[in-house]
């Protein structure tokens, strides 16, 4: 079985310049989640993909339809790990600081985040189990998101899949994982 992970193409939603409150950051994240993508180039291999699964968020949907010509299975299980401001105070920080604080809060299990790290791990395990059960002999292309993709790749490695380690998932780049049956 071969699994190809692809992060959606670059999002056409610019970060707000300057600083923002936690409430403004949350509004920015919501707008980002609903934004369209810039056209991109898919770094495909010579593989023929028999199945394509995609997150049901707009940026992944639009990417999947650009890079895969067959039927696409859309699922909430491949959504990005939700992120919200770790604090709802009026303190104003740069959006990159809010992003970092939100990911740290997720990692340590802070109650500000809607999804715990444990829940994310369970979600990735459920995705892998579905892939192996339903598409075990197929080449499967998965269009998803940066943070979730890193966790999914780690879980694939723990299950014996061989592939390039992902430090920072690049938009539109293929990361191939393979496991001998």
**What are the E-state strand segments in the chain?**
2-7, 19-20, 51-55, 72-75, 93-94, 139-144, 162-163, 174-178
CA-CA-CA-CA torsion sign (52, 57, 59, 65): positive
Token duo for residue 170: 């690049």
> How far is 88 from 159, CA to CA, in rounded Å?
39
pLDDT, position 41: 82
pLDDT, position 122: 97
Q: What is the pLDDT of residues 31-75, one digit of tens each?
A: 999 888 998 888 777 889 999 999 999 999 999 999 999 999 999
Token duo for residue 52: 């394509």
pLDDT, position 42: 86
To which residue do tokens 């598409």 refer? 135
pLDDT, position 50: 95
Angle among Cα 6, 29, 91 to the nearest 5 degrees reads 135
CATH of 2-17+39-82+115-178 among 1.10.3720.10, 3.20.20.10, 3.40.50.1240, 3.30.1490.100: 3.40.50.1240
pLDDT, position 98: 94
CB atoms within 10 A of CB 139: 18
Q: What stretches in the chain show pLDDT beneath 50?
A: none
Q: Where are the domains of the chain?
A: 2-17+39-82+115-178
């Amino acid at each position: 079985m071969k699994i190809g992970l692809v992060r959606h193409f670059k999002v056409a939603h610019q970060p707000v310049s300057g600083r923002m409150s936690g409430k403004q950051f949350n509004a920015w994240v919501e707008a980002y989640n609903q934004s369209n993508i810039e056209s991109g180039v898919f770094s495909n291999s010579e593989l023929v993909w028999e199945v394509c699964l995609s997150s049901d968020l707009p940026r992944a949907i639009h990417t999947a339809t650009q890079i895969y010509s067959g039927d696409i299975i859309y699922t909430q299980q491949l959504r990005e790990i939700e992120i919200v401001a770790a604090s709802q105070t009026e303190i104003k920080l740069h959006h990159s600081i809010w992003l970092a604080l939100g990911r740290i809060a997720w990692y340590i299990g802070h109650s500000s985040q809607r999804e715990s790290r444990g829940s994310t791990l369970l979600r990735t395990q459920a995705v892998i189990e579905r892939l192996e059960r339903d598409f075990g002999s197929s080449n499967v292309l998965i269009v998803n998101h940066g943070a979730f993709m890193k966790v999914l790749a780690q879980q694939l490695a723990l299950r014996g899949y061989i592939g390039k380690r992902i430090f920072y998932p690049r938009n539109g780049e293929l990361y191939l994982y393979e496991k001998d049956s």
